Structure 1
């Protein structure tokens, strides 16, 4: 019996099938890329086979059938369909309408990932999908088969009724209600308490791993989130001209603003998103404030020096001379609109953080892959049951928790929120915090009752 293995690339996953003698007998996969069309104000998700041939049905679904859906929903469908069409290549099915019930069962095994034994072949895949992601992708397949071919008669669509208990309060009368769920879906239990933010000792572990196995890029990105409260989209949207000297000696301002050249995952929150170049001259766009043109985050000079050091290191002429493709990508694909006034070399503006391999702007997906590796090496638990927790956002929660002693208005200012009450979500104690709080309260109550013997 053979085995299927996977390799991660910048465009997607490539699969290799080996026979029982460990000889490669099949290389397959579906890869893709995302393309912006400023003229049509549309984001296109494109899927191809390994030879670059467009997979028409997948692209029609992504860009026509669900083209008006939110970015995250389309991005999830994009990821799911790359796996689906990779599987079709594995079982030599050219038309999804020809998929059989037996194929569906093998698809589920393939989708789950990890290391498993199957009836026809074994899988030894790096990615092991959690139940929530698995169910989300199955929902994509149902919608795809229904919208594209009117197919609703496969095992994917079979449902079963389950009983659930409902009631209000401890003394409420409980009632049994029935609810339908898809048989193919996996049970998603209640997520148990996991670290909601990065604690100081975890930050030290993370930075030790970065120091040992990573580079300046990872150090700078993590510090911007942990010590200054930036969201990952705001970090990835930073450009050369967004580092401005402050009127206060020894400090700089990071300017958080949106550009037409930004991808959706490079945008800030609470700032104006331009829709045309004319907006760059708009008074709202050129003013600072919530829901105006930009926000400013004060950073120490040392942080600004680290940023400049990374820029110099990543744009080193000797390094770029060895790779004309990197130089070309840096010039054309890393370019950002020039909207500020500070002097720049050759008046060229670029996104600061780059993908090491291609020298295109670093994406959230690419950064997420790196961060998961850092967390793993640092021995920090990532998720239980689902991937719903935004790993990067844990650093922003840490920033908020470090300042939780401040008043709500001060916390609002630090987090750059328009509403002070929206800051309450950042008070997110985990089990360890709650135990510590209980112990403090218990000690305080004991002292109040018996008196403090230490006085």
Structure 2
């Protein structure tokens, strides 16, 4: 019996199939990238095979059939279809219309991931998708098959009754609603777990790996998330003009704001105003600090500001750029951000700070996630494969919050540190394990004893 294994790349997952003698007999997969049009500022999701040939039906669906849908929905469909067309390559199906119910059964096993034994081949995949992601991908396949080929009669579309609800009132007997679910879907628990956070000793391991095998870019990005609580989208959206001297000596302000030039994954998460046109830059609200106003300001120390400036100088070194015309062109044409502030800049040119080392285009979340997964693996930090490692960056923000809690900050202070509009939303960041609970209880008892001793002295 053969086995199928996966290799994670920045463009998607590549699969390898081995025979029973552990000889490689097939390499397959579907990869892709996201590109923004220069004129209309529209995001295009492109899927190709491993040879770079466009998969037309997938691209028509992503950019025409659901081209006007929200970014997150299209991004999920993009990820799901890469898996779908990879599977079709595995079972040698050239046209999705030819997929059978037997193929769909095998597709579900392939989609689930992990380690499983089948009748013809087994899978040994790093990724294991949780039930919610599994169901989301199946929903994409239903919509894709229906919109592209008019298919609605496969086993993917079979439903089963799971209960009924009855309305209230005099005519309640006429208001019964039958609840159904797709039989191919999995049951999903209503309780959502909060991602674990990076503990201090894990942070030290991570920084040891960064010091040994990576560079200033990785150090700065991780420190901004771990020590200052930035989200990864906020980090990737930072530009030259977003570092401003503070009125407090020895400190700087890091400005968090959205621009028209930002990709969706470079934007702040609901905490600031998202402009709909460049005219909004002249709006008074856009130039006002505060939650859901123009921008938020984060105080950073001089050392952190120096690290950022050092990375900017290092990554824009004339000697490095002189060796690559393409890098120089990308830096000039693709790394430019809208100029919205008043901070003096060389040639009055604003650029995104963090770049892809290979192409000198702005670093993407997908590219960063690929780097971070490797750092976690080298540091020996478990990766939650059930969530496909998409929440790794947010573990640092959770760590930032837990550090504040252990310092004894009140909920209002935590709300301000996390830049949330309401304190209730901060509760999601309180995720102590048994060790934390014991530590917090000990500190509480020490504070209580200290207060008691002071009262007794009086």
Q: Give the structure 1 partner of residue 172 of structure 2.
A: none
* TM-aligned CA distance change 1:259 to 1:187, over 3 Å: same
Determine the structure 2 residue equivalent to 1:59. 59
Decide whether aligned partners of structure 1 residues 2 and 325 sit closer, same or farther in structure 2, where only a CA change above 3 A counts. farther
CA spacing shift, 1:291–1:302, aligned 2, 3 Å: same
State the TM-score, normalizing by the size of structure 2.
0.83
- Provide the residue aligned with 2:174 in structure 1: none
Q: In terms of mean alpha carbon deviation, does 212-221 or 116-125 score higher?
A: 116-125
Do the aligned residues in 1 keep the contact of 2:10 with 2:370 (CA within 8 Å)?
no
Distance 1:191 1:287, change over 3 A: closer
Instruction: Please name the residue that 2:339 is paired with.
Output: 338
Alpha-carbon distance in structure 2 between the residues aligned to 1:263 and 1:319: 26
The aligned runs of 1:323-362 (5 Å cut-off) are 323-362=324-363
- Residue 386 to residue 223, structure 1, CA distance change in 2 (3 Å): same
- Asked if the contact 2:29–2:86 (Cα under 8 Å) also holds between the matched residues in 1, the reply is yes
**Structure 2 CA distance for partners of 1:283 and 1:67, relative to 1, 3 Å:** same
1:46 aligns with 2:46: yes
**For residues 134 and 9 of structure 2, what CA distance do their matches in structure 1 show?**
21
Aligned residue runs from structure 1 range 145-224, under 5 A: 145-160=145-160, 180-186=180-186, 188=188, 196-224=196-224
1:4 and 1:142, CA in 2 relative to 1: closer, same or farther beyond 3 A? same
Q: Is the 8 A contact 1:34 1:46 kept in 2?
A: yes
**CA displacement at 1:427 relative to structure 2:** 3.0
Within 1, Cα distance between the matches of 2:393 and 2:85? 30
94-103 vs 423-432, which deviates more? 423-432
* CA distance in structure 2 between the aligned counterparts of 1:191 and 1:205, rounded to whole angstroms: 31
- The answer for the alignment partner of 2:429 in structure 1 is 426
- Is residue 196–residue 430 contact of structure 1 (8 Å, CA) maintained in 2? no
Q: Distance in 1 between matches of 2:157 and 2:259?
A: 43
Is residue 320 from structure 1 mapped to residue 301 from structure 2 by the alignment?
Answer: no
CA deviations 1:374-422 (Å, max 9, x no partner) are: 3333333333744587322222222223223233333333222233443
- C-alpha displacement of 1:46: 2.2
Q: What's 1:407 paired with? A: 410
Distance 1:379 1:18 in 2: 28
Change in 2 beyond 3 A, CA 1:190/1:273: closer
| Aligned match of 2:379 | 378
Alignment partner of 1:46: what SS? strand
Query: Are 1:255 and 2:255 counterparts?
Result: yes
What is the aligned counterpart of 2:419 among 416, 419, 423? Answer: 416
The match for 2:170 is: none
Q: Secondary structure at the match of 1:144?
A: helix
| Normalised TM-score (structure 1) | 0.83
Partner of 1:236: 236
* Deviating more after overlay: 299-308 vs 380-389: 380-389
Do 2:335 and 2:361's aligned partners in 1 also have CA atoms closer than 8 Å? yes
> Over the residues paired in the alignment, what is the CA RMSD in angstroms?
3.6
